[in-house]
Structures are given as C-alpha cells and as structure tokens.
A and B are shown apart, each in its own frame.
Chain A
Amino acid sequence: MNRRVLAVGLLLTLPLLGVLVAGLGRDMTVRSPLVGRPAPGFSLRPVGGGTPVGLAELRGQPAVVNFWATWCVPCYQEHGVLTRAARALEGRARFVGVVYEDAEENVQDFAREHGASYPSLVDPDGRTAIAYGIFGVPETYFLDANGTVVSKHIGPLDDERLAAELRKAGLRP
C-alpha cells in the first residue's frame, strides 16, 4: 500500500466530492442584495403621460413595485391579482408598475383591454430595472413605509402570497 498515493488521492477527491454534493443541494434562484436596504430612488413618467411618480410619493405606506411587460405570460397571470388588490387596498398601500423592455403602445393597448388600477411607469434605458437588479419579469419588490426593501418576489404573484408579503411590509389589517 503506497500511503503517499492514498493520502494525495483522498486529499484531492474528498473535498471535490464534498463540494459537488453541496452543490446538488443548493438553491438555484439568485438572491437580491437589496433586501433590508433603502430602495433605490427613481422618478418616472407614467405611460400615457402625467406627473412623474417617484419613490418619495410612495413613502408613508407599504408599497408594491412590480416590474412587468406585455410579452410576459406570467405577468398577464398576475395582472388580475395586482389590479384587484390595488383597488381593495386604496389608501393603505401603493401599487406601481415599471415597464421592462416594452413599448408604450403595447402597455396602453394592454391597459385598455384588461384594465389598470395603478400607474405603470416608463423606464427609459432600463435604468431603474438595473438599479433594482432585475433579471427578468415579473419581479416584485415590497417596500415598507420608510422606503426600505422588505422582500423581493420572483415570478407571478397569487392572492395569498401578495397578502403575506404585504403583511411583512407592515400592512395593518
């Protein structure tokens, strides 16, 4: 038995196997570093014109910032959830949409066809998307009354999830 070969062999292979096993168990989704930090500032014009809506206007109550696009199927799925919630929670929580890599006309057509209860904002050159670390759509940020990011949800929202995240963001029942 060549002990040196055995030692070197074990030294090289055991850590490798350990790393691979650990890798199999990892969570594949990329986590956001913004959670727990003040939300990046923005002030964007709504689709179709009007006064710009900025982070400042969202202060004082929990806020939902939803990045979406008309070409994204899951965005369409969650649109009803968000629209209903925005109406029901008027005055208690602010909802705002940010358009990601889409044309204004598409958004206006979409709003005409499916309704909208909160403004969707135009994000020129994707600056706000970059500031918020957007990988794709839909992605939704939940802010508390002070403008701190409480959580980020990737993928379409349903009613329970939306309610749970808003509670975490300080929505009083």
Chain B
Amino acid sequence: MTAALGRTLILLALLVSAAGAVVAFAVGRRPTVAGARWAERFAYAFAALMVAANVVMVYALLTHDFSVSYVAQVGSRSLPTWVTIVSLWSSLEGSILFWGLVLGAYVAGATWATHERHPEYAPWAIGTWLACGTFFAFLIAGPAQPFVTVPNPPADGPGPNPLLQNHILMAIHPPFLYLGYVGMTIPFGLASAALLSGRLGPDFLRALRTWLLLPWTFLTVAIVLGGWWAYEVLGWGGYWAWDPVENASFLPWLTATAALHSALLMERKGTLKGWTVTLVMATFLLTILGTFMTRSGVFNSVHSFTQSSIGPTILVFLTAALVWSVATLALRVDRLSAPAGGFEPKSREAMFLVNNLLFVLFTFTVLIGTVFPLIVEATRGVQMSVGRPYFDRMAVPIGVALLFLMGVGPALPWGRATGAEARRVLLPPLFGAAVANLIGLALGVRHPWTLVTIALAGYTAQVTLVEMVRPLRQRMRAQGERLTQALEVQVRQGRRRLAGYVVHGAVVVIITAIAVSSTLGHSREVQMSRGDKVELAGYTLTFLGAEPVAEPHRQSMVARVAVERGGKSLGVLTPAMNYYPNQREPVGTPAVRSSWREDLYLSMVNVDPGRQTLGLHAIVKPMVAWIWGATAVLGIASLGGLLPPRRRREEHGTVAAPAGRPAALPTSR
C-alpha cells in the first residue's frame, strides 16, 4: 500500500512537472497574468508532491516496511535511528528520490522569490526548472524506482553500505552536497530565462547572483565535508584523492566560483554577460555530468553506485541539456550585451578575466584527467589510470596562481591604473609575503612549493585585510565613528562586501593549510605488543590492549593507545576495525586527536586480540583543523552576506515592478 502510494505521488509529480513546463514556456512566449499564476501553481504542486513522496519513504524506513523495495534494500531492524533516516540517501534509488525533494524545495522557494519581482523572467525560469524536474521525476518513476512493491517482504533487511554507517558525517555531507549540487538548477533556469527573454538587467542580475551564491555556499561546505569524511573514515590519512566522484563535485564548484566573480564584474560594469551566463549553464551541465559519473558505473570509484540503466538515461538528459545550452547561447547571447571595448591591462577588470580563464583552465584540466582513461581505452584499447600524482601536479600551479590573483585583483583599482598607481598598491603586500615566509621558514618549512604558497598567502592576506578594513577606516575618518560603530554599519549595509573578503581570507587559510598539511608531517608504521611504546614527533604512544566490542549491527576490534607528550598524558585514542555481517573486508576507523597545531592520526593496520598485538600506522599532520575551521567561517560569512541589508528589506513590499525599474538605491561600496 505504501509502495503504491509512493509510486502514485511520483507519477503525479512527473505529470505535473511536464504539464507545468509546457504551460510555463507558453506563458513565456505569450505572457498573461493568469498564465503566470498557473505556472507558479504547477511549480508549487511539483514541490509538494516531491516532499510528500519523500515523507512516505522516510515513514516506510522508520516503520521497517519491507514491502517497499528500497526499504528491503537498505533497511534493517538492528540499526540506530539516525542511520535509518540517513539511509534515505545511502543508495542509488533513494538518493535520486532525495534529489527530487531538494529540487522541489528549491523550485518552490525560487518561484516564490522571483515571481513577483521579475514577472517577465519567471515563466521562462519556471519552465526550465520544471523541465529538469520532469527528467528527475521520470528517473524516479522508471529506472530508479524505489517504491516497487515486494511481493513477499522479508523479515529484515541488510542495512546500508557499512562504509556509510561508520560516521556521523554521513548524515551531514550528502544533504549539504545535494543542497549545493541540485541548487545549481535554479541559476540555470534563471540564466535560461535571461537568454530566452533576451535581456539581463541589473535587477535580475541580483537574483541570479543570490541564487548562485546560495548553492555555491552549500557546495563548498559539502566538498570540504566530503574531504573530512574521507579523512576520518577511510584511514589512509588524506582527505582528497582526485577520485572521479570527488572530481564530479569539484568541477561544478570551479565554474560556479568563476561565474560568481564574473557576475560581480557584470554588476559593476555590465560586461562579461555572455561569460557569466555561459559559466552558470556550464555549472549545471557539470552537475548532470557529475551525477552520470557517479551513477553510471563507467568510472571506478569509492562512491559509485552500481551499474544499471540509469547511466544511459542520464546521458540522454545531459545531451538534451547540452543542446539546449549551446542553442540558447548561440542564438541569444548577443542580445544580452554589446561586445566589450577591451580591458585595461593594469585593472581589476582584467584580473577578473584572468580569473575566469584560470578557473576554466582548472575545470578543463580536471575534466580531461578524469575522462582520459575512457579516451585511451577507446583509441588504444589499453586500460590505464590517471590518478592523484597527475592531478596534484596540475592543480598545484593553478591553485598557486589563483592565490596570487586573489591578492593582485582586489589590490588593483577599477578602471585604468598608471604604472605608479599599480606599484603603489602592488608592492606593499610584499611585506606580508616576507613576514609569512619568515614564519614558515622558522617553523621548518623547506619544500619549495609550500614556501611559495605561504609567501603568496601572506601577500593575499595583507591585501584582503586592507580591503576589508578600508571602508571602516573611511567611515572612522570621515564621520568620526569609533571602530565598533563603523563595523556595525558595515555589517548592516555593506554586508556583501565584507562577506566577500572574509570568504577570501578563509580561502587563503584553507589553501595554506592544505599546502602545509600535505608537505609537512611525520608518519610511522610499527607492530606493537601490549605495553610497547613508540615515539613520533614528540608524542609517546603506548599500546594498552585490544578487545572486541559487539554492537547490534557490527562487531568491532578496538585498540586502546595512550598518548603522552612531554610527560603529560593526553588521553587514550581508540582506533578500531569494524566487521559488518555481509562484508569480508573490515572497515577501519582511525582515531584522530585534533589540535590547532596538528592532528595525531592513528590507523589500525591489523590486530590480534588473542595475542594482543597491534599493527599501528601513526601520522602527525600539521594544520589540518584549520581547513575545517576556515570552511565553517567561510560558510557562515557567505550565508550572512546573502541576507539582504536592512534598508532593502523595508522595501520588500513594493508592487511588482515592470522590467527595467531598479528596486532601490544601491548600498555603499
């Protein structure tokens, strides 16, 4: 009964989104107020149906209703409740159902936010969103149907993939990832609306920027959370392996970041409209490519769901989306703006262009590296790999170049700068570079690329701080305000700018932390008997013993290792090896002791509780916690910057403005 209800809801969602897309596009061509209302109703109905279908599935999971095929696949009575809820997105069919939920919620929210203020764009956007919704509803209703009725329901199920049960991050990473990934559909719809209606005014530009920044924030946090999960769960001591599925989430992030910067330039100068729209569409296309890479089984990966007919279906949608994008761009991009007159070489505008191109280069490089094994197999018939060494070698120079650009770009003024002006802004941050370098050398950094990264980080940090503080100092000087007053005004009215620089600062910290943690540190692998001690980087590790621990859903071998430094006890770490009932290989859970200075990472290689021996892999990695911390700051700042400033919020109740009328006075720089 539950399965039938779920199937019905999905089928209705499919019909509603298909009909809604048709209606919305028709309204776009021949706008009427009544038609627009209907388009909105279809959008809300789609959202409601998707939400309902997901609620039904969660209910089925919680009540262990094994007559529903998906529950029979991933449900289990012996699981903790949080794992049961989380198993909604743990396997392929459920994850696509979850995709539908997030898409529905986004479509409803974006429709509500844009239908009044941008009536000439809204129907086109809704049409595009519902067209995408139709495809996903079709996927759920067909190849990835989770609501198949199981004729003889089993008494119990196998539970989700053990790797996913190991850590609480499994509950957080996928929702963030989907909020980021799926959310890119919204700016895609807005960009399509701009192309289809042949204009991209400053007001709509603001909506595009907001609806790009929101998923971007979630995607950034999600990517870092994925790295954190890999670090805490997989046991090899690293957080990024350039796995095809990791790349799948990273590629749209790159183009989205480029699009955000390009949109900033578009707001200020009206140029690069074509670039911006192209980058936004590329971001969405890369999310579809990414989901193809993850689910088709074409790429071997830690994440990959098993192969099925889903691959070809997604490929068909990807082709359709590509055709749509290339066609609308080729036909309509010229209407958006006149060609730019050219940029001054020593200006911030030119730096934006360089920024765009670097991000596109990065995207292209990662993409070609990821699909290259397919190319080789098709041409030479040989199976080969493109792995971490290749990507690291390509990513490091590009990352360093971007770090440099983050310093030079905000330092340079808008418009033309003379040689003297350029020198005046570009030379002082070298002081920051020198200071950072000295600190790095003093702390023992010797690796050349790391030193370069630290120097550039110092340079960029100085520029970022100076730019962040500039409006505060201006206010303090001009109006005689105190620092706290100026800060308050800045947060209230100049929030976006402040948030942007905080985000840049966080990125500088993240890049530095990545460089340092990758090239510095110590590691040791040793076999220990009970009572043995081993020294590493100032820590003394003592193996206290190992014993088995039984839980309802798994058996674990837990080792206790006492940690001391400088004679002071720092507690006991417990790396473990978890054995799940339906898997031969156990899943190791490392034990990590984090401090701001460094992480002590203990991973169990082998253990014998009978003989009380332990094979321990111990790693000391500096500055890892800075990555997670800076990302949290980044997320909070970015979301904070999205909140409209107080002055603007009072204007929210205005009647729907005809196209072209700006909404309010712009906030101060």
Contacts and interface: CB of A to CB of B under 8 A. Distances in A.
Interface stretch (B88-96, B170-178, B324-332, B608-616): B324-332
B326 A20 contact: no
Interface in B250-289: 274, 289
Interface in A31-65: 31
Contact of A71 (B325, B330, B584): B584
Interface in B365-424: 367, 371, 374-375, 377-378, 383
Nearest to B373: A23
A20 B330 contact: no
B interface majority secondary structure? helix
Contacts of B667: none
Interface in A1-33: 1-3, 5-6, 9-10, 13, 16-17, 19-24, 26, 28, 30-31
A5 B329 contact: yes
B298 A13 contact: no
Contact of B322 (A2, A3, A17, A26): A17
B580 to A, nearest CB: 15
Given A20-B315, A22-B378, A28-B297, A5 B322 contact: no
B406 to A, nearest CB: 27
A10 B377 contact: no
B333 A23 contact: no
Nearest to A33: B382
Given A13-B322, A17-B319, A20-B298, A26 B330 contact: no
Task: Pick from B298, B318, B375 the residue with the most CB of A within 10 Å.
Answer: B298
B334 interface: yes
Nearest to B322: A13
Contacts of B374: 19-20, 22-23, 26
B460 interface: no
Contacts of B325: 9
A28 B300 CA distance: 9
B453 interface: no
Contacts of A30: 383
B296 interface: yes
B322 A20 contact: no
Contact of B378 (A5, A16, A19): A19
Contacts of B296: 23-24
B80 interface: no
Interface residues of A, number: 21
Contacts of A24: 296, 298, 311-312, 315
A16 B334 CA distance: 26
A31 to B, nearest CB: 7
Contacts of B543: none
B292 A5 contact: no
B375 A9 contact: no
Given A20-B292, A24-B296, A30-B383, A5 B333 contact: yes
A16 B325 CA distance: 15
Contact of B371 (A10, A13, A20, A31): A20
Contacts of A20: 292, 298, 315, 318, 371, 374
Given A9-B326, A13-B326, A24-B315, A19 B331 contact: no
Contact of A9 (B312, B315, B319, B329): B329
Given A16-B371, A20-B315, A26 B329 contact: no
Contacts of B299: 23
Nearest to B367: A16
Contacts of B326: 5-6, 9-10, 13
Nearest to B377: A26
B298 A6 contact: no
B381 to A, nearest CB: 9
Contacts of B292: 20
B270 to A, nearest CB: 18
A3 B584 CA distance: 57
A44 B298 CA distance: 39
A22 B374 CA distance: 7
A31 B382 CA distance: 9
A101 to B, nearest CB: 11
A21 B371 contact: no
A2 B371 contact: no
Nearest to A5: B330
Nearest to A71: B584
Task: Pick from A3, A5, A23, A71 the residue with the most CB of B within 10 Å.
Answer: A23
A153 B289 CA distance: 34
A155 B296 CA distance: 23
Interface in B336-371: 367, 371
Nearest to A21: B315
Contacts of A31: 383
Given A5-B274, A24-B312, 16 more contacts: A1-B330, A6-B330, A9-B325, A9-B326, A9-B330, A13-B322, A17-B319, A19-B371, A19-B374, A19-B375, A20-B371, A20-B374, A21-B315, A23-B378, A24-B311, A26-B378
Interface of A: 1-3, 5-6, 9-10, 13, 16-17, 19-24, 26, 28, 30-31, 71
24 contacts: A2-B331, A2-B333, A5-B330, A6-B326, A13-B322, A16-B289, A17-B315, A19-B375, A19-B378, A20-B298, A20-B318, A21-B315, A22-B374, A22-B377, A22-B378, A23-B298, A23-B374, A24-B312, A24-B315, A26-B377, A28-B297, A30-B383, A31-B383, A71-B584
